[in-house]
Copies of this chain bind each other. A is one copy, B any other.
Amino acid sequence: MNTDIYITGTGQTPFGEHWDMGLRELMDSAIDSAIKDAGISVLDIDLVIVANMLAERTSDQAHLGAMASSLLPHQPPALRVESACASGAMALHTACGMLESGKVETVLVVGVEKMTDADTGAIASGLMGAADSELDSPSGITFPGIFGLIANRYMYEHSLSRERLSAVSAKHHSNAMANPFAQFRMEVSPEAVTSSTTVAEPLCMLDCSPISDGAAACILSTKHQSSLKIAASQIASDTVSITQRESITGFKATKQAAAKAFAEAAIHRNDIAHLEIHDCFSIAAIINLEDLGYAAPGTGVKLYENPGKQTINASGGLKACGHPVAATGVKQIIDIGKQLKASGKRYGLAHNFGGACATCGIHILEHTAV
């Protein structure tokens, strides 16, 4: 980074079903927690960046930047960033850029999604906006189907069995037991994953992240210091449609963003102690670990069988925490920060992608009070 950017305060709602809260209340709750955590004056916030994907469809609400701004007494300038399920990371990346520009000193990033008011069909078609509406959607496929195709191809190329794949969600559920903000705090055995209802072969219900409401907020500042710094913020793109890819068992955008992020932080991947990776579907977690360089192609599942040096989705990940789409990327940062403070380790990495990784955002956090 050209500038020291500190994570001054964070806050989130529990992820799950919030029947008594709309977009405004969810944002307000997370923002309030973040401001209290930061211990700064709300008037120090120079800019608000809202991450959101679905509100125009599920809540008839665009213009969430201005809506979030109005939750603050001084109504600071505000905008919304959207890059499908990577919206959270892209909002953080935008915030880093604005801070590095010197135009602002303190930025509030809030990711929010209100999904449970809509029926499953409406959510599935809304989420298909992350794919290509001309090249993908007309086939009738939805995202479980897209990742079902990816899983099928991966299992064929690498002889991964259905049973071994089940280790992923089982581990994430087990991790979530310790996270009070997780939507599903319950142990799930690998056998239960394998025997859960088939959603899109070979993926079963317990391979899939759920539909969730939630908000997560993060205050980034060049003015107010803390023990957590952004060591790298990098993004990359790929084709929106998987039909235009050379391979669907590895994601180019993750590889590119990771290479740039490790270079920016000037560290090796082995310096990372904690990983939060985008496990929208179990197969994605395995591919992500390989794309990030923690496992050779075809071997990512081994890190769930014999844990390596890095913790993986200690929060519970998207599967067990829930996946209020645009809140996820912000919540990953919150969790990496907590993990670093708890372990006393120095570096953690948050990996957030949109669609079938047509957009990837990676942030490396540095805990300086080691």
Contacts and interface: CB of A to CB of B under 8 A. Distances in A.
A251 to B, nearest CB: 12
Interface stretch (A90-98, A277-285, A334-342): A90-98
Interface in A126-155: 126, 128-134, 137
Contact of A359 (B60, B63, B97): B63
B98 A83 contact: no
Contact of A82 (B60, B62, B69, B129): B62
B2 A102 contact: yes
A103 B63 contact: no
A324 to B, nearest CB: 15
A130 B125 CA distance: 22
A78 B137 contact: no
Given A60-B137, A97-B103, A129-B56, A359 B237 contact: no
Contact of A62 (B66, B84, B100, B235): B84
Contact of A2 (B65, B84, B103, B129): B103
B22 A75 contact: no
Interface stretch (A174-182, A199-207, A238-246, A304-312): A238-246
A361 B361 CA distance: 27
A53 B79 CA distance: 12
A61 B358 CA distance: 14
A95 to B, nearest CB: 10
Interface in A262-303: none
Contacts of A355: 63, 66
B359 A79 contact: yes
Interface string A59-88: 111110111011000011111111110000
A353 to B, nearest CB: 10
A75 B238 contact: yes
A57 interface: yes
A126 B60 CA distance: 7
B133 A354 contact: no
Nearest to A100: B101
Interface of A: 2, 22, 24, 48, 53-57, 59-63, 65-67, 69-70, 75-84, 90, 93-94, 96-103, 125-126, 128-134, 137, 235-240, 244, 354-355, 358-359
11 contacts: A53-B62, A56-B56, A61-B132, A61-B133, A62-B82, A62-B129, A63-B84, A65-B90, A76-B237, A82-B82, A100-B101
